[in-house]
Amino acid sequence: MEISLLKMLSDVISSFLHLPLSGKIKSEPISKYYRKAEKMLKVLKPVIDTTVFSDLASNEVCSKLFEELGLAIEELRELIENWHPLSSKIYFTMQVGPLMSRIQALGLGILQQLKTSSQFLPDNSEQETSSAIEEAIREQLEGVGPHLEVLENIIQNLGLSSNQEVLIEAVALEKLKEDAEQLEKIAEAEYIDQMISVVNCMHGHLVMLKQAQSSIPVSVPSDFCCPLSLELMTDPVIVASGQTYERAFIKNWIDQGLTICPKTRQILVHTNLIPNYTVKALIANWESTLHPHSTLEGSLNGMVNGQQVDPVRISPPGSDDGSVSSDEGGANSVSQSSKSPSRTEASNALSSEQSQTCVRTASDSSALSSVKFPQGTQGDSHSAPLLSTSPVNNDDTSGELSSGPDTVGMPTQHRKPEFSPQLMVPRPQSQTVGKRSSERIVPRMASSPRSVETRADLSATEILVWKLVEQLKSNSLDAKREATAELRLLAKHNMDNRIVISDYGAISLLVDLLQSTDTTIQENSVTALLNLSINDNSKTAIANAGAIEPLIHVLKTGSTEAKENSAATLFSLSVIEENKIRIGRSGAIGPLVDLLGNGTPRGKKDAATALFNLSIFHENKDKIVQAGAVKHLVELMDPAAGMVDKAVAVLANLATIPEGKTAIGQGGGIPVLVEVVELGSARGKENAAAALLHLCSDIHRYLNMVVLQEGAVPPLVALSQSGTPRAKEKALALLNQLRSQRHGGGGRA
């Protein structure tokens, strides 16, 4: 029996050592792990072969070691045979690392049993990769981020030395995460997500290395760099997702069987590569600013892929219907997150009335997860209701990897005509585009002295926005889809972009497209307006463009995503007092309440936040109650819904009117309010105590309900002693009412 076991182990090792014949071990890290295993097994195999007929074959300890070693080698062989060039190297390493350690430990055990030295086995230095990955994940979770030497160790050992290889790794991991989520393997999905974070750090490290190694003495605008190669593009092309890449690199990407956009992770519905003449001309113009007297072939005076390009008139070659693609990809100024763009613009940092700012950034958290509901509620004598939140970060980074300013060159005296005859781009009247700071650098059009003297002060982004606005006017649905998608992402990018988009007249066109029957156009348009509404001036402009009724139309008839973003846009607009009135009188409350009751978790949070803001205006309170919001708000006070603070804040406002008090009392709101006083967050306790105080101040039967509610008094006493100042005030006032009622023995009739 033992001899048969040893013979099987010898055959397993032989089978493993013949793996190179299958061609599976040519790529890294497969080759590295195979070589390491080969070293160990070549030491063990002669020993095992000579042990088959020895007395040691019947040794019980050795037999167990032989059996476990055979199983481990078989498992390693299967992992290598199942490897695919597009498989995740990190996931493979995390599976193989422990297995290699096990094989080595079993081998050492066998050699020790055979009274031989372990010096024949290779050292453990190459097993550091899995440990380095674990260390990087741990540092990421601790918030310090992986140290540089740890990242470099992983990059070197896994052969992830180029940005393209890192992006392929990210795609492979995201596919693994998606598969794990579909199988409801939550722990594994979270673990893979941590690996993705490490890969993102590798990407950032490679970007910094590329910038440091650049031979160009000035920063290359990130718009002009290929997201795959991180280098200045010489032959930019547009793919189906609308993004622009260097032809050779994106072709290599597609040739490997990758059919998703490296930047947006969208599925590429086709693999056509369309030359982006606009970006090529802009790059040539930028290069001419670095060499103003040069007549290099790459300048604007010349041919671009066989097309004559005027040095100052930058316009797409024939852009009807499907021909708009000369710049729907645009310059790569539109940054996106590693997640799907369907909602990545938008984890709202929804601000207070004081800051009047609404932001959707790349995040998977709920749209209103950053909202902190008010310290006070309507009717409180000491404070008006406010949405309190952390200051919104409106810098230009947004998670992008930017190599420098948008454009490079020293500005001359800026001339701002209402219309630029040189570039045929209309200049918004009475406004300077972008409100740039003095540090913003503008490109110089290096052709003739006259063209330099009369050129308009237009950046690549402004030219792109103008062309996208023109596309919005097209009769082509494809053109509108691509233009709205680009504007949606540009509006997310930074404040300058939002100002430019607004100045070039996009708002009214986007508002019109809210009525579109095309789902994609409608989703892109409403999200673009949401991102534009971050700008305070745009809030008024959007409302004045007649957006409220179309937004309500989207709220009633749109897709799930469109409804959520419509509700969030209405919240953003309602920060302005005048808009609270207009929105309430336009019929928005009913659809918002419907979303509150029947929407997705994200939609419910968007609706709750919008309703809170609207409930600040007294006239809207009765409408919210009549629409049936109280029932849904009481249901959402279940901690499992994750919306207790949001729901109780709205209820506290509604409790200031008689209709609201009646609805809350009849809808079972008092028991859950008491529960929040006992178990809620600090802000939840404040608002719950305020709501109960409003309920008990007028109608005697509600007082009785509070008293009869089991455990009502102890949490109020505790809150009056250890709560926030406002919570103490409300709890004491309510306890005083309870005492007065008890001692008076009567009360109001």
Mean pLDDT value across the chain: 73
**DSSP bridge partners of 436:** none
Class of domain 648-749: mainly alpha
Residues with Cβ within 8 Å of 232's Cβ and at least 6 positions away in sequence, in order, are: 216, 220, 224, 225, 226, 283
* Average of per-residue pLDDT across 95-101: 84
Residue type, 269: V
- What is the pLDDT confidence band of residue 555, given thresholds at 50, 70 and 90? very high
**DSSP bridge partners of 246:** 236
Q: Please report, for residues 354, 530, 595, the alpha-carbon distance to residue 571 in angstroms, rounded to integers and kept in the order given.
A: 14, 9, 13
Q: Please report, for residues 128, 166, 209, the alpha-carbon distance to residue 139 in angstroms, rounded to integers and kept in the order given.
A: 16, 20, 21
* Average of per-residue pLDDT across 574-589: 92
Contact 479, 324 (CB under 8 A): yes
What single string gives the DSSP state of each residue in 445-495? --S-HHHHHH-----HHHHHHHHHHHHHTSS-HHHHHHHHHHHHHHHHH-H
- What is the pLDDT confidence band of residue 597, given thresholds at 50, 70 and 90? very high
Is pLDDT of 324 > 50? no
| Six token digits for residue 220 | 């290359």
| Six token digits for residue 714 | 């102890």
pTM of the full predicted structure? Answer: 0.46
Look at residue 434 in the predicted model and tell me its pLDDT: 36
- What is the pLDDT confidence band of residue 349, given thresholds at 50, 70 and 90? very low
Write the burial class of residue 288 (CB in 10 Å: 0-12 exposed, 13-18 middle, 19+ buried).
buried
- What is the pLDDT confidence band of residue 439, given thresholds at 50, 70 and 90? very low
Question: 29 preceded by cis ω (within 30°)?
Answer: yes
Distance CA 579, CA 120 (A): 79
Residue 735 or residue 339, greater confidence: 735
Residue type, 204: G
To the nearest whole percent, how much of the chain has pLDDT over 70? Answer: 68
**DSSP bridge partners of 245:** 237
Per-residue pLDDT tens over the stretch 126-185: 567 788 888 888 877 777 778 888 888 888 788 887 888 888 888 888 889 888 888 888
Look at residue 388 in the predicted model and tell me its pLDDT: 36
**Alpha-helical runs (H) found in 261-351:** 277-290
371 in helix, strand or coil? coil
The residue extents of the domains of the chain are 2-123, 648-749
User: In 352-463, which ranges are E strands?
Assistant: 358-361, 419-420, 425-426
Per-residue pLDDT tens over the stretch 370-408: 333 433 434 333 333 333 333 333 333 333 323 333 333
| Six token digits for residue 677 | 């006083």
* Average of per-residue pLDDT across 331-354: 37
Is pLDDT of 457 > 70? no
Is pLDDT of 465 > 50? yes
> What contacts 24+ positions apart, CB below 8 Å, involve 699-704?
699/661, 699/665, 700/747, 700/748, 700/749, 701/665, 702/661, 702/665, 702/670, 703/737, 703/738, 703/741, 703/747
Is pLDDT of 262 > 70? yes
- What is the pLDDT confidence band of residue 468, given thresholds at 50, 70 and 90? very high
Residues with Cβ within 8 Å of 223's Cβ and at least 6 positions away in sequence, in order, are: 279, 282, 330, 331, 332, 333, 406, 460, 461
Residue 356 or residue 255, greater confidence: 255
Per-residue pLDDT tens over the stretch 409-428: 333 333 333 333 333 344 44
Look at residue 217 in the predicted model and tell me its pLDDT: 61
Per-residue pLDDT tens over the stretch 193-203: 888 888 888 88
Per-residue pLDDT tens over the stretch 478-513: 999 999 999 999 898 778 889 989 999 999 999 999
User: In 228-369, which ranges are E strands?
Assistant: 236-238, 244-246, 274-275, 302-304, 307-309, 347-350, 358-361
Distance CA 424, CA 344 (A): 34
Is pLDDT of 641 > 90? no
